[in-house]
């Protein structure tokens, strides 16, 4: 703890004066037991003890009378001691009234610094030693009484001279308090490490010294000069020359090293050649220091969290400048504040570096996921395209069709796993966009059941469906809503033993909300796992059933985006589980509008498609599929060949990959739209939100992620004008 500031006030009471009137001492605390303790400890002073049980009451007392000293508790409700001190200092009558903080909280790094920054004269931790408290209070009582006495007896010259000396002493102490308060403000003004050092050097000069050097220790044990200041700026260059003469390590005898080695203050008010020889081994260094004409110095260590992080060396060249115990004490208190500020700056720098590293790692992760998505999706595209081609063959042997369906299911599963990784990234960044429309939730639920049908049949599960909801239209994104249902059903199928049971029910709650329940007789969920079941990468049985552990986390996020909620319950291991999800239904008017008459189907258009795809297998299979659907296709595999083909092939629709050997799909559509409008569909393995935004900004009307749904691609091509 810093040396109490009240030690700077040294005033003696004239022996001839025996004032009889009592002075006021204000005791501020919200607890009666602590107030009683203070009164018992101070009653021997025989002064007028005034009680305030809150900060507000203390301020009212200060408006009514003057006090010699205020004893202020730090921890009080409504307005704590620090807030009360700020208000006291804002009032002219009490701006210099001595304040002593006391607290039971042993947090010197925080509370003491803050207390002194508010102009406190002392900060006492409980339990308080009565004799010490009385002695400290007596100083301010005496000082107050003398001040009042001088006002009444100004005609007595001798007393007037003594009072002037006391006043000068008090003003000096007040200047010290103000200086320390200002020091705290200056040091806290910046969290930049270098700037904080420079502010510290400028703070010392010229108030405490004629020139100042700030040094720090490096992690490798070397000493480094980080800031200098001189009353004559022209001489600062000479101070910086000392950097060239610093030792390579702290074991070498050097004037600056002793403070670092011992962690103790060092001072000398009478520096001569003998002292310089003792301080510096190197003659060139002594010559530089000698040319600065020092006559005294104070070197103070900067201590933070039990280690020496630096030192301030304050040097005097003016014989009139004071050099004594008071200056040393003030230098120590300044060093405490400076060390705290520098440590905060270092911690802030570390936090900023950690944040930058985290952001860089996050960006690298996003780039990795985008590249992983592209590299994994690209080989899936020709597989799914080839399966579609084979499935469309009329003369396909019946025994082959189930095999093709198996291939399709597994390819679609791989694509879903990739989508889960990307969805998790989008959700964490809040970049999931919903394409809302009024949809029949039960129809989408049936579709999800149909998708999971082969898996249900493979496990020979007994499936029961009870669609009892009368209101089932939601304002939702149909693709995301089906994803929710698919995830829940797939999860139930995965964790249910063969020949188990699966029940899917819908109903309306009393408020009209749609409730969907997916109930299984599977392995169940342990009680301790239930709170974690919706966390990313959490799995019930150590991944024995496969998957990434992302489905339920994504499902919960998607439900929340639809203003719904989801719940999982289970009676424990092998007792099955039930997942329930609630959604607000669309209003009657909206529901009616959503269930209106559908448009009559339009005749298919025979369109010309410019296809750009550098992956040979994907290019071939997609070309065959598009031709089979009646389109005239011009296939290219680079930016250059696509632009060249566009000169001779009058196409209606551009379907382009993004990553090409000589550029991107964005380059193609940007060049083509200079001459005429282009209806473009980006067909790519890059599915991050930024990829979609870039393709849209370049001019693509749609962005499909590989392997694309051929039905969706066909519908988009048909929508071209």
Q: What's the pLDDT tens digit per position in 301-312?
A: 888 887 787 788
Q: What is the pLDDT of residues 259-308, one digit of tens each?
A: 777 778 877 777 776 777 666 666 776 777 777 778 788 888 888 887 78
What is the pTM assigned to this prediction? 0.39
Q: Decide: residue 135, CB within 10 A, 0-12 exposed, 13-18 middle, 19+ buried.
A: exposed
Q: Are 394 and 719 in contact (CB under 8 A)?
A: no
What is the rounded average pLDDT of the residues 370-387? 70
Q: Are 216 and 228 in contact (CB under 8 A)?
A: no
Q: What is the pLDDT of residues 434-484, one digit of tens each?
A: 778 899 999 989 988 988 888 899 899 999 999 999 999 999 988 788 888
| pLDDT for 96 beyond 60 | yes
Separation CA 251–CA 257 (nearest Å): 8
Residue range 5-185 in CATH 3.30.200.20: no
Separation CA 42–CA 134 (nearest Å): 6
What is the rounded average pLDDT of the residues 219-227? 73
pLDDT band at 231 (very low <50, low <70, confident <90, very high): confident
Q: Angle of helix 478-494 relative to helix 441-451, nearest 10 degrees?
A: 40
Domain spans of the chain?
A: 5-185, 193-323, 349-397+604-721, 432-594
Q: What is the pLDDT of residues 106-124, one digit of tens each?
A: 655 666 777 777 778 888 8
| pLDDT for 126 beyond 90 | no
Phi, psi of 95 (to 5 degrees): -65, -20
**Of all helices (H) and strands (E), which one includes residue 72?**
strand 69-73
What does 474-516 look like in DSSP terms, one character per residue?
EEE-HHHHHHHHHHHHHHHHHTS-TT-EEEEEEEE-TTS-EEE
Residues in a beta bridge with 465: 504
Mean pLDDT computed over every residue of the chain: 79
- What does the block give as tokens for 41? 């400890």
Q: What is the pLDDT of residues 642-668, one digit of tens each?
A: 999 999 999 999 999 988 999 999 999
pLDDT at residue 54, as a whole number = 92
Q: Are 298 and 255 in contact (CB under 8 A)?
A: no
24-28/69-73 β-pairing: parallel
pLDDT at residue 26, as a whole number = 93
pLDDT at residue 600, as a whole number = 46
Q: What is the pLDDT of residues 470-527, one digit of tens each?
A: 999 999 988 788 888 988 998 899 899 999 999 999 999 988 899 999 999 999 988 8
Residue range 193-323 in CATH 3.30.450.40: yes
Q: How is domain 432-594 classified at the architecture level of CATH?
A: 2-Layer Sandwich (3.30)
Query: Which of 145, 193, 122, 539 has the alpha carbon at shortest distance from 338?
Result: 193
Q: What is the pLDDT of residues 614-624, one digit of tens each?
A: 888 888 888 88
Question: What residues contact 460, with CB distance under 8 A and at least 6 apart?
Answer: 498, 499
| pLDDT for 575 beyond 80 | yes
Q: Are 514 and 438 in contact (CB under 8 A)?
A: no
What is the rounded average pLDDT of the residues 81-94? 87
Q: Decide: residue 358, CB within 10 A, 0-12 exposed, 13-18 middle, 19+ buried.
A: exposed
Q: Are 503 and 466 in contact (CB under 8 A)?
A: yes
Separation CA 248–CA 20 (nearest Å): 66
Which CATH superfamily is 349-397+604-721 part of?
A: Response regulator (3.40.50.2300)
Separation CA 119–CA 124 (nearest Å): 14
Separation CA 521–CA 463 (nearest Å): 11
Query: Which of 315, 318, 292 has the alpha carbon at shortest distance from 235?
Result: 292
Residues in a beta bridge with 565: 582
pLDDT band at 181 (very low <50, low <70, confident <90, very high): confident
pLDDT at residue 580, as a whole number = 95
Cα separation values, 351 from 191, 197, 356, 361, 468, Å: 11, 19, 9, 15, 55
Q: What is the pLDDT of residues 29-41, one digit of tens each?
A: 998 988 998 899 8
Asked if 5-185 and 349-397+604-721 have one fold, the answer is yes
What does 506-552 look like in DSSP terms, one character per residue?
EEE-TTS-EEEEEEE-SS---GGGGGGTTSTT--TTTTTT-S-S-HH
User: When comparing pLDDT for 490 and 182, which is higher?
Assistant: 490
Range ranked top by mean pLDDT from 38-42, 385-389, 543-547, 578-582:
578-582
pLDDT band at 637 (very low <50, low <70, confident <90, very high): very high
Looking only at Cα atoms, what is the longest distance across the chain?
Answer: 128
Q: Are 117 and 5 in contact (CB under 8 A)?
A: no
- Taking the CA atoms of residue 691, residue 696, residue 697 and residue 698 in that order, the dihedral angle to the nearest 10 degrees is 90
Separation CA 234–CA 490 (nearest Å): 78
| pLDDT for 593 beyond 50 | no
Separation CA 707–CA 712 (nearest Å): 11
């Amino acid at each position: 703890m810093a040396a109490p500031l009240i030690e700077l006030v040294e005033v003696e009471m004239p022996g001839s004066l025996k004032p009889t009137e009592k002075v006021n001492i204000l005791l501020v605390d919200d607890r009666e037991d602590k107030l009683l303790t203070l009164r018992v400890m101070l009653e021997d002073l025989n002064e007028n003890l005034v009680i305030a049980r809150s900060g507000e009451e203390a301020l009212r007392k200060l408006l009514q009378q003057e006090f010699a000293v205020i004893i202020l508790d730090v921890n009080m409700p409504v307005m704590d001691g620090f807030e009360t001190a700020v208000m006291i200092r804002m009032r002219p009558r009490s701006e210099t009234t001595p304040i002593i903080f006391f607290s039971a909280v042993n947090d010197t790094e925080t509370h003491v610094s803050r207390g002194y920054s508010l102009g406190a004269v002392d900060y006492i931790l409980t339990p308080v030693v009565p004799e010490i408290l009385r002695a400290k209070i007596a100083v301010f009582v005496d000082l107050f009484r003398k001040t009042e006495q001088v006002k009444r007896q100004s005609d007595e010259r001798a007393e007037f001279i003594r009072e002037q000396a006391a006043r000068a002493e008090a003003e000096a102490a007040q200047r010290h308090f103000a200086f320390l308060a200002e020091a705290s403000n200056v040091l806290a003004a910046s969290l930049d490490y270098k700037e904080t050092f420079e502010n510290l050097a400028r703070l010392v000069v010229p108030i405490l010294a004629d020139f100042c050097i700030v040094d720090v220790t490096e992690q490798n044990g070397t000493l480094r000069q980080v800031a200098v200041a001189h009353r004559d700026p022209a001489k600062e260059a000479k101070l910086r020359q000392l950097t060239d003469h610093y030792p390579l390590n702290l074991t070498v005898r050097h004037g600056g090293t002793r403070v670092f080695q011992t962690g103790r203050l060092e001072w000398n008010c009478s520096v001569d050649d003998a002292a310089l020889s003792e301080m510096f081994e190197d003659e060139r260094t002594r010559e530089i220091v000698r040319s600065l004409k020092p006559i005294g110095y104070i070197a103070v260590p900067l201590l933070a969290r039990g280690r020496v992080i630096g030192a301030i060396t304050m040097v005097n060249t003016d014989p009139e400048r004071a050099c004594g115990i008071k200056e040393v004490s003030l230098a120590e208190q300044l060093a405490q504040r400076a060390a705290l500020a520098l440590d905060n700056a270092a911690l802030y720098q570390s936090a900023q570096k950690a944040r930058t590293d985290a952001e860089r790692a996050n960006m690298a992760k996003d780039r990795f996921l985008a590249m992983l998505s592209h590299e994994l999706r690209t080989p899936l595209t020709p597989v799914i395209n080839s399966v579609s081609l084979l499935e469309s063959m009329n003369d396909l042997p019946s025994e082959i069709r189930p095999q093709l369906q198996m291939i399709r299911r597994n390819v679609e599963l791989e694509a879903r796993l990739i989508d889960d990784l990307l969805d998790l990234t989008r959700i964490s960044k809040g970049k999931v966009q919903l394409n809302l429309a009024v949809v029949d939730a039960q129809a989408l639920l049936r579709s999800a059941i149909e998708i999971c049908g082969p898996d249900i049949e493979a496990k020979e599960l007994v499936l029961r469906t009870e669609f009892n909801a009368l209101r089932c239209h939601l304002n939702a994104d149909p693709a995301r809503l089906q994803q929710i249902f698919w995830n829940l059903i797939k999860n139930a199928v995965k964790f249910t033993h063969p020949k188990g049971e699966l029940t899917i029910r819908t109903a309306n709650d009393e408020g009209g909300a749609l409730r969907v329940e997916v109930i299984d007789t599977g392995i169940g969920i342990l009680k301790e796992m239930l709170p974690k079941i919706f966390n990313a990468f959490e799995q019930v049985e150590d991944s024995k059933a496969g998957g990434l552990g992302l489905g339920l986390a994504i499902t919960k996020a998607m439900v929340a985006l639809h203003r719904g909620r989801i719940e999982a319950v289970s009676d424990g291991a092998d007792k099955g589980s039930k997942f329930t999800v609630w959604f607000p239904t669309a209003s009657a008017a909206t529901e009616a509008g959503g269930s209106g008459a559908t448009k009559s189907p339009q005749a298919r258009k025979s369109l010309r498609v410019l296809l750009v795809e550098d992956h040979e297998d994907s290019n071939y299979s997609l070309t065959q599929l598009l031709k089979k659907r009646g389109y005239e296709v011009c296939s290219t595999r680079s930016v250059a060949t696509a632009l060249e083909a566009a000169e001779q092939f009058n196409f209606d629709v551009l379907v382009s990959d993004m990553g090409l050997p000589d550029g991107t799909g964005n380059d193609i559509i940007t060049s083509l739209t200079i001459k005429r409008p282009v209806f473009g569909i980006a067909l790519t393995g890059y599915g991050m939100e930024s990829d979609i935004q870039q393709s849209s900004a370049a001019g693509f009307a749609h962005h499909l992620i590989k392997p694309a749904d051929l039905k969706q691609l066909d519908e988009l091509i048909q929508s071209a004008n």
